[in-house]
Structure 1
Amino acid sequence: MECLYLTMFANIVRNLDVNVIYLVPDITILPTFPPHPSPQINPTHLRSIHGCICMRERKKEGERMKGFSARYRVIVLLLFLFHIIDEARGQAASGPAAAPAPGPPPPLNVTAVLEKGGQFRTLIRLLQSTQIDKRIEGQLNSSNAGMTLFAPSDNAFSSLSPGTLNTLTNQQQVTLLEYHVIPTLITLSQFQTVSNPISTQAGDSSPGQYPLNVTTAGNQVNISTGLINTTISGTVYSDSQLAVYQVDKVLLPLGIFRPSVQAPPPKAGKNASDTSEGPSNDSNDSSDASSTIRRPWRLGIPFAVAVSILYCSF
């Protein structure tokens, strides 16, 4: 407080243009003033003042955070742009990114393919009962050659003679189904250039056994077994491993359904002609014999006349 009073006194003296040295020779001898009484502060006013100060500080803090959030968004945007630019430069330097290697294809299910076709219930039943479906799936998943399957529809099986399938042995049923499978993939366009006869999984393709001949006429593919002639009526399924074509007739191989050969019956006309010729030959022989017998008499009469003439002349 003393310093405050000294400062106030010095200001007063400066305003009066009085030399402080003459008026105050020694600063230590200045009289001391009584302490200024402290003002009485109302608690209510103190709380209101504190609330105003807090509101002002909150406002300042909000403005400061608002500015900080705006700067933060700008910084994040700049970092994102720099990241995009770096990625573009890296791709330009390293070239296009290599595509990931495709995984192995899922195993094929022949019966599922036929079930999706909707009209091959009899063929599915035969494939499952003979285990041919498992054999086909195993070969497809272990080989890259592919397979071709001719799939007769349910109508094709119903057009067979009654009891045709029931009269076959288990091995014959297996061979019949194998006759519908070609152990290589053949597309529709490749049927125009295949060599006949085509070998099937039934085996021997020599004449009279299991040959399969294919001819084309435009987009139509004709199939002949030697007993059955049919055409491919549609494609049920086709990819790089398996091709399934619908046929409207069951392919019957000669090796199983070869017709039996019967001896021709004897001709009735030939026997009758032989019988009729018999008496004629006998009559000819008898006429020859009678002519031989009569011929000496014909020669002896002139001879006897000549001998009689000669005898009378002597």
Structure 2
Amino acid sequence: MIRELTKLPINRIRAEVRSVDGYHLKSYDCPVKLNQNESPFDVPDDLKDRILERVRQRPWSRYPEPMPMDLVAALAHRSGWDPRGTMVCNGSNTLVQLVLSVSTSQGTKVVIPSPSFSLYGLYAGIFGGEVVNVPLTQDFRFDTNLIRETVTKEDANCVILCSPNNPTGCAISNGELEELLDTTDALVLVDEAYGEFNDWSARDLLANHRNLIILKTFSKALGTAGIRIGYLLAHPELTQQILKAKIPFDINVFSHVAAMCILEQEGLIKKRIAYISRERDRVFNALQSIEGVTP
């Protein structure tokens, strides 16, 4: 007897998946949208025209490259890193999922400061990992001593740090991160989605720390969240292991071309980063002048 597809039991889905609600983003009907930290600047019209013209010249009937190597090379050059340790993916959220998929299994401990970006814990749990949250300090900074102690005590397999952190804006210092890297062989995943607004990058530590993974995105400082491009920097041997789980052809022709064109606009990128940084400081100072508001 053939069962109706609509009656297949939900328990065929892993318990770790059934136990979570998934990621939800509420939509608001309002004139100003700030909840996703998108750039206030759109891509200039002349640059859009250039992108569309280049896309028009590409064959749409063919699969894109499994990995767009010219984009990999451009990002490696921009980052001052080995192309073999550079990987491009369909958004840095996908890279979070990818790293956890190859490093997390039933009972694996994943240390995450709290509060931070909710997708980290969601994905870790879906892959069977046990999330160990480390609270921020009272002034909303990373408690790096407690993070190190927790990683050692729990024998964690992975630590995820969003630096600067979403939603608090705190960032781990070079010295604090290096001390963590030196005291554990756990994977240390540093999400630098907002890295362009920080004074330094974990990139400076890559050469001497094989357990460090850095994620970057086009969605924030580069102002192109709509094209869904993220990239990873890590030791080449580690990158090649992560690459095994990556879905091929995930960078479509439009995103590939758009990303290459955006990278040609380094002057515009720097100008916009400087403007947003000045506005951040202006608003911060204005808030400090309000009675009852503290940093």
TM-score in terms of structure 1 length: 0.20
Higher RCO structure, 1 or 2 (CA under 8 Å, sep 6+) = 2
Give the greater-gyration-radius structure (CA): 1
TM-score in terms of structure 2 length: 0.21
Whose helix fraction is larger, Structure 1's or Structure 2's? 1
